[in-house]
Amino acid sequence: MNVERVIVGPLATNSYIVCEREECVVIDPGAEGDRIMRQLGRKSLVAVVATHLHFDHVGAVARLVEATGAEFYAHSDDWRIYKSLNQIAEDWGFAVPELPTPRGLGSRVWRLEVLHTPGHTPGSISLVGDGFVFTGDALFYRSVGRTDLPYGDWEALVQSVCRLYGLPPSFQVYPGHGPETTIGAEARGNPFINADICLGGRHSRLY
């Protein structure tokens, strides 16, 4: 499986094009839909998946779905509060993107396993492939997702990140913003949520 990162939009969101041969999914198309389409080239887009429904992760969803007919997937816990979840967009001077109604999530989308990893938002998910995981805004290089935004939940985020640390240490982490890392590196060295915290230690709240 080939993973290509495309950094898009004013908040430098990591959008990912994941392909096996000529079949692809796009994860978190935050903006610049035409650019993502050019990167896809002649390959077939079969699904568009949002790790969560903050505006900076879904700005190009409608463009991709309309152009290709691909199905859109997102968690229902974010969809039912989509407008209020994105009050931050208007507060920060951005428009709230109009989205097609997403399909519900099962245990898998395409060839990726779906893990519900709430905390940053109620419907945040992570997507697990063969040796890698897309963590959205749950887990970053040496950081974790904000929980001071609407519907954020710090204790839920701690539980979600600890669940991610149950993956093999060698797994590559593809986050929603910033550089790649590994599960093992974050379990050992993340200053906010690490393996010691998951085993019952105290944690330093980021926000």
**What are the tens digits of pLDDT across the range 72-102?**
999 999 999 999 999 989 889 999 999 999 9
Could you give the percent of the chain with pLDDT greater than 90?
A: 94
In a domain, residue 116? The reply is yes
In a domain, residue 204? The reply is no
In a domain, residue 157? The reply is yes
Considering the chain, what is the average pLDDT of its residues?
Answer: 95
What number of helices (H) and strands (E) belong to the chain?
Answer: 9, 13
Q: What is the CATH number of the domain that holds 151?
A: 3.60.15.10
Query: Which H or E run contains 49?
Result: strand 44-49
Residues whose CB is less than 8 angstroms from the CB of residue 174 and which lie 6 or more positions away in sequence, other chains included: 3, 5, 14, 16, 132, 133, 134, 135, 180
In a domain, residue 147? The reply is yes
Query: Where in the sequence is the domain holding 189, given as residue range(s)?
Result: 2-87+104-198
In a domain, residue 44? The reply is yes
Domain count within the chain? 1
Please, which pLDDT band fits residue 207 given cuts at 50, 70 and 90?
very low
In a domain, residue 14? The reply is yes
In a domain, residue 136? The reply is yes
